[in-house]
Structure 1
Amino acid sequence: MDRIFKALADPARRALLDALRDRDGQTLTDLETRFEMSRFGVMKHLRVLEGAGLVTTHKAGRFKYHYLNAVPLQQVIDRWIDPLLVKPAARAALDLKSRLEGASAMDTPTKPDFVMTTFIRCTQDALWQALSDPDAVRQFHFMASHAEMRGDAMVSYTPDGAEMLVCRVTEATPMTRLVTTFEPKWDAAAVTSTVVYLIAPEGDHCRLTIQHYGLQYGADGVGEGWARWASGLKTWLETGTPARFGAAVSAA
């Protein structure tokens, strides 16, 4: 946590985060043109932000794309603010983009629209099971109360029993890589996109990276939902206690 506060203490680094909030997935060259800093200066600040977990990256060919990683910020908020507030599971406003009809896993675009990384002290097997087992959803999902398998699809439901989300596995490398559709049901106009989960063991913990492709209107609004989802997953796997970081509402 000290690294997070140290990284945020510098106005140049905060400006870089603002730039990524405005438009995620920028290259070093993209960011360099936005600031009166040398290329080396931008690189130096990005390294600090990456070290604090506030920025995560995705390489495609010779390009390296940078993404704002909201998980550490959400964990700071949850530590001091969330316990003081009511936490009903009632947050859903994610604007999503359709993939081409009939597209396969090989059609996934080179560059994801949203990327998030978190580190969880657990085994690969436990993390893979949490991502694959519908019974795990009730333990950590910030919005869904439960889930079930319906044919080849995992269907998640809101507390009132309405369908919330349908996910179908399109590709799976056990313990390492899982690709699913992301079919929101809370909005009749919402369309299907693709999520890739990447698991990498690192000693006594795992690095989990979420890549979201095919967002209809970009990544606006997606970050908070994924941060709440990842915070709940991390807390549950590390403590064994169900954790549902739903959006707080006023008691008025």
Structure 2
Amino acid sequence: MDSVFKALADPSRRDLLDALRREDGQTLSQLEAALPMSRFGTAKHLKVLEEAGLVTRVKRGRFTHHYLNAVPLAEALGRWIEPYKMAPAVRGVLDLKARLEGTMEPKPDYVMSTFIRCTQDALWDALTQAEAARHYHPFTPEAVRDGDALVYKLPDGSDMLVCRERSLTPKTRIEATFEPKWAPDIPASRFVWLIDPQGEFCRLTIEHYDIPPGGEGYVEGWERLVAGLKTWLETGESVRFSEGAA
């Protein structure tokens, strides 16, 4: 917690966070050009922010992209403000490495990372078993499995969202399509779940790629979903952080 507040004490570092809030995923050169700092000063301040967990780097080929991670700040503030609701719902990013050796993946449009106190098995089951959705999914209490797809249903029984699994690394990685049936004019995109067990916690990361026009609300949807998932796995309480919920 001390490192978070120390990092925020410097106005230049706050300027860097503001720049990433406006446009996530910037490189060092982009940040240097946008702010009145030298390349050395920008790199130095980014290192402090990274050590505090407020910035995470994602390397893609020759370029390193920087993402704002508000989770540590929310967890610090959560000591006094809504400790069970605020921290798990904030937007952030993660520090990750290329997962496919020899293959360069594009940078994700959205990244969020949080820690959940649970077993790796419990987290994997929550993300892959259809019946688990009713405990945490913000927009629907019902999901069914159809082969390699999880199909989320609207109250009238029609399909709301189809997530078709493209690649599975058991208990570690899920890559799936994101097909918004509630808005058939919006094309499908792709997302990845990453599970990294760390003692009694698991680090859960969501990466969303190729978010199309019309998908601006996906970010808030992921935040609500992860908040409910974290609450359910840690407390056993089924919570759906739907819009308008108290």
Report what 2:188 is aligned to: 192
Unmatched 5+ residue regions in structure 1? 85-105
Unmatched 5+ residue regions in structure 2? 86-101
Q: Deviations over 1:59-113 (max 9, x none)?
A: 1223221223355567768x846999xxxxxxxxxxxxxxxxxxxxx99942211
Judging changes above 3 Å, is the alpha-carbon distance between structure 1 residues 113 and 236 closer, same or farther for their aligned structure 2 residues? same
Distance 1:232 1:214 in 2: 25
Specify the code of the residue in structure 2 equivalent to 1:194.
Answer: R
**Match of 1:241, SS?**
coil
Does the Cα contact within 8 Å between 2:186 and 2:213 map onto a contact in 1? Answer: no
Specify the code of the residue in structure 1 equivalent to 2:121.
Answer: D
Q: Deviations over 1:151-197 (max 9, x none)?
A: 33111124454422100110001011110000011212111001111
Single out whichever of 49-58 and 203-212 deviates more from structure 2: 49-58
Does the Cα contact within 8 Å between 2:110 and 2:208 map onto a contact in 1? Answer: yes
Q: Deviations over 1:17-64 (max 9, x none)?
A: 332233222111211111112333323333343344443332122322
Distance 2:214 2:74 in 1: 20
Report the CA distance between 1:144 and its aligned residue: 2.2
Does the Cα contact within 8 Å between 1:57 and 1:66 map onto a contact in 2? Answer: yes
Between 1 and 2, higher relative CO (CA 8 Å, sep ≥ 6) is seen in 1
Does the Cα contact within 8 Å between 2:60 and 2:105 map onto a contact in 1? Answer: no
Report what 1:178 is aligned to: 174
Does the Cα contact within 8 Å between 1:71 and 1:227 map onto a contact in 2? Answer: no
Matched, 1:166 2:162: yes
Distance 1:14 1:118 in 2: 22
**Match of 1:232, SS?**
helix
Corresponding residue to 2:148 among 149, 152, 174: 152
Matched, 1:237 2:243: no
Distance 1:223 1:238 in 2: 23
Distance 2:187 2:26 in 1: 25
Report what 1:120 is aligned to: 116
**Match of 2:135, SS?**
helix
Judging changes above 3 Å, is the alpha-carbon distance between structure 1 residues 245 and 15 closer, same or farther for their aligned structure 2 residues? farther
**Match of 1:180, SS?**
strand
Report what 2:224 is aligned to: 228
- The Cα RMSD (Å) is 3.2
TM-score of the superposed pair, with normalisation by structure 2:
0.78
Judging changes above 3 Å, is the alpha-carbon distance between structure 1 residues 217 and 241 closer, same or farther for their aligned structure 2 residues? same
**Match of 1:33, SS?**
helix
Identity %, equivalent residues: 55
**Match of 1:248, SS?**
coil
Q: How many correspondences in the alignment?
A: 229
Report what 1:19 is aligned to: 19
Distance 1:158 1:82 in 2: 31
Report what 1:29 is aligned to: 29
Does the Cα contact within 8 Å between 2:133 and 2:143 map onto a contact in 1? Answer: yes
Distance 2:222 2:119 in 1: 21
Specify the code of the residue in structure 2 equivalent to 1:14.
Answer: R
Report the CA distance between 1:207 and its aligned residue: 1.4
Q: Write out aligned runs for 1:30-45 (5 A).
A: 30-45=30-45
Report what 2:68 is aligned to: 68
Judging changes above 3 Å, is the alpha-carbon distance between structure 1 residues 62 and 138 closer, same or farther for their aligned structure 2 residues? same
TM-score of the superposed pair, with normalisation by structure 1:
0.76
**Match of 2:34, SS?**
coil
Does the Cα contact within 8 Å between 2:134 and 2:140 map onto a contact in 1? Answer: yes
Distance 1:131 1:181 in 2: 14
Judging changes above 3 Å, is the alpha-carbon distance between structure 1 residues 56 and 223 closer, same or farther for their aligned structure 2 residues? farther
Corresponding residue to 1:111 among 94, 102, 107: 107
Does the Cα contact within 8 Å between 1:168 and 1:181 map onto a contact in 2? Answer: yes
Q: Deviations over 1:211-246 (max 9, x none)?
A: 111111498443322222222211211111112222
Single out whichever of 23-32 and 43-52 deviates more from structure 2: 43-52
